[in-house]
Amino acid sequence: MKRAIDTMFRKPITQLVSMGMVITSALMIWKGLMCITGSEAPIVVVLSGSMEPGFKRGDILFMHMSKDPIRIGDILSFKVDGHEIPILHRVIKVHEHQNTGEVDVLTKGNAYLNNNRFGDDMFLYAQDQMWLKQHHITGRAIGFLPYVGWVTIILTEQPIIKYILIGALGLLAVFSKE
């Protein structure tokens, strides 16, 4: 009797534990990456076309927030107060204050969407905010992989696909011969 229950429960429990291990490992790697790169978001998916043709929607950028000061030309991810999704743009102005070392930063997307002379990012920042400061900045881009980010975009923007995927995975788990 005991043996029958054993074999009946062993397989699903093993599968559950395996799945749990996979998820935990993924989380560990993600958090580890965050620690190593010192960045809030070590990998960022490009969501808009504002940096084309260099970066296109769906590309992914590897981010690192080193102690090096922010300098002109850096490609930064930054968050505007009240907005959760970081923006990826390039620094076009830096003013570093004497003594404090505090920086005022202005950014701009590279795409030539319009010939507007004043098409920098000030309009993106919070009202009355003219400059980005160090605390707005969440990372600096150091590397790049094209297309791979499309998976994230599709999963985020078409949540139904997420459910289909999870459902399929669940079915696979139930019917796997392991």
Q: How far is CA 38 from CA 19, 85, 95, in A?
A: 28, 18, 24
The yes or no reply on residue 65 touching another protein (CB under 8 A) is no
Q: Which residues contact 137 (CB under 8 A, 6 or more apart)?
A: 65, 70, 76, 77, 78, 105
112-125: b (≥16 Cβ within 10 Å) or e: eeeeeeeebbeebb
Among 146, 159, 167, 170, binds another protein (CB under 8 A): 146
Binding mask 80-109 for another protein (x = CB under 8 A): ----------x-xxxxxxx--x--x-----
The alpha carbon dihedral of 63, 67, 73, 79 has a sign of: positive
Binding mask 39-58 for another protein (x = CB under 8 A): --------------xxx---
Nearer to another protein, 10 or 95 (CB): 95
- Identify whether 121 is a catalytic site residue: yes
The yes or no reply on residue 33 touching another protein (CB under 8 A) is no
The yes or no reply on residue 12 touching another protein (CB under 8 A) is no
In the bound complex, what is the minimum distance in angstroms from residue 110's beta carbon to another protein?
A: 7
The yes or no reply on residue 162 touching another protein (CB under 8 A) is no
In the bound complex, what is the minimum distance in angstroms from residue 138's beta carbon to another protein?
A: 18
Distance between CA atoms of 119 and 107, rounded to whole angstroms? 10
Among 10, 11, 31, 71, binds another protein (CB under 8 A): 71
* 145 φ/ψ angles, rounded to the nearest 5 degrees: -135, 125
Q: Which of 50, 59, 77, 136 is catalytic?
A: 50
Beta bridge partners of 61: 44, 144
> Burial of 62 by CB count in 10 Å (0-12 exposed, 13-18 middle, 19+ buried)?
middle
> Burial of 80 by CB count in 10 Å (0-12 exposed, 13-18 middle, 19+ buried)?
middle
Question: Contacts with another protein: how many residues (CB under 8 A)?
Answer: 27
Catalytic residues: 50, 89, 121
Contact residues for another protein, defined by CB under 8 A? 53-55, 71-73, 75, 90, 92-98, 101, 104, 110, 117-118, 120, 141-146
